[in-house]
Amino acid sequence: MEKVLLITGSSRGIGAATALLAAREGYRICINYQSDHEAAERICDQIRELGAQVIAVQADASDEDQVIALFARIDAELGPVTALVNNAGTVAQASRLEEMSEIRLLRMMKTNVVGPMLCAKHALLRMSPRHGGKGGSIVNVSSVAARLGSPGEYVDYAASKGALDTFTIGLAREVAGEGIRVNAVRPGYIFTDFHVLSGDPQRVNKLEPGIPMGRGGVAEEVAEAIVWLLSDKASYATGTFIDLGGGR
């Protein structure tokens, strides 16, 4: 089967590391990004150097019209999606619930929950035999925050990832008989620019002493688990989670 992979939010961080690893595994890849065109093109250049076919497409992965256009570009230029990584995600300034505005809460749920559900919907329209597809694999990028709740920092983010976990279990069972697997990874503290969004770029360094393994993780360590779950090597895994939290 042709392997066509969409990774949302893959111009940097965990998504970019996953794209580079998947390029070595024979996928045709769509790098999706929201704003940083130059970063997306830099990753595309690295992927082409590995000999893989790649396109970069700007789209807000939580807006259905833009998701429809994104999948249409992939259909036309790479072929229908057979693999999806719902990686795009956001977090906001660390704070208590009393300080969180309605707009912040809605944006968190739209980006981290509605976006992955919309992308999975349009992936199923290509993957499911009900729609002429031949199966596929979806990996959702959740967080250990879904288990821990992130009190005093961002309970909104943790709750959004909890919803993503529940969606992973439900969708996995919904499409298990159609040759489609749905799994998730739950990273802990990973060195990426994500932490700028919470107001502390040095966050992982500061929290390392509290991590049982004594160090933060790197994006490549998360990418290994994502690419394994996507692959046929994980052929009997669906509705499951791989935690990459250094013991958290």
CB 7 within 8 A of CB 18: yes
User: Is 13 near ligand NAP (CB under 6 A)?
Assistant: yes
Interatomic CA distance for residues 205 and 219, integer angstroms: 15
Give the residue among 8, 45, 6, 38 at the shortest CA–CA distance from 22. 6
Beta bridge partners of 7: 31, 85
User: Is 158 near ligand NAP (CB under 6 A)?
Assistant: no
Minimum distance from CB of 40 to ligand NAP (Å)? 8
Interface residue with ligand NAP among 7, 9, 18, 225 (CB under 6 A) is: 9
Interface residue with ligand NAP among 138, 187, 225, 229 (CB under 6 A) is: 187
Angle formed by the axes of helices 219-230 and 13-23, to 10°?
A: 50
Q: With CB under 6 A as the contact rule, which of the stretches 20-28, 60-68, 71-79, 96-104 interacts with ligand NAP?
A: 60-68
Interface residue with ligand NAP among 90, 150, 183, 198 (CB under 6 A) is: 90
Active site residues: 157
* Count of beta carbons in the 10 Å neighbourhood of residue 26: 12
Interatomic CA distance for residues 154 and 96, integer angstroms: 7
User: Is 18 near ligand NAP (CB under 6 A)?
Assistant: no
Helices (H), 50-151: 64-77, 102-109, 115-127, 145-148
User: Is 167 near ligand NAP (CB under 6 A)?
Assistant: no
Interatomic CA distance for residues 137 and 35, integer angstroms: 27
Number of residues that bind ligand NAP (CB under 6 A): 29
User: Is 15 near ligand NAP (CB under 6 A)?
Assistant: yes
Nearer to ligand NAP (CB atom), residue 2 or residue 193? 193
Using CB under 6 A, list all residues that contact ligand NAP. Answer: 8-9, 11-15, 32-36, 60-62, 87-90, 111, 115, 141, 143, 187, 189-190, 192-194
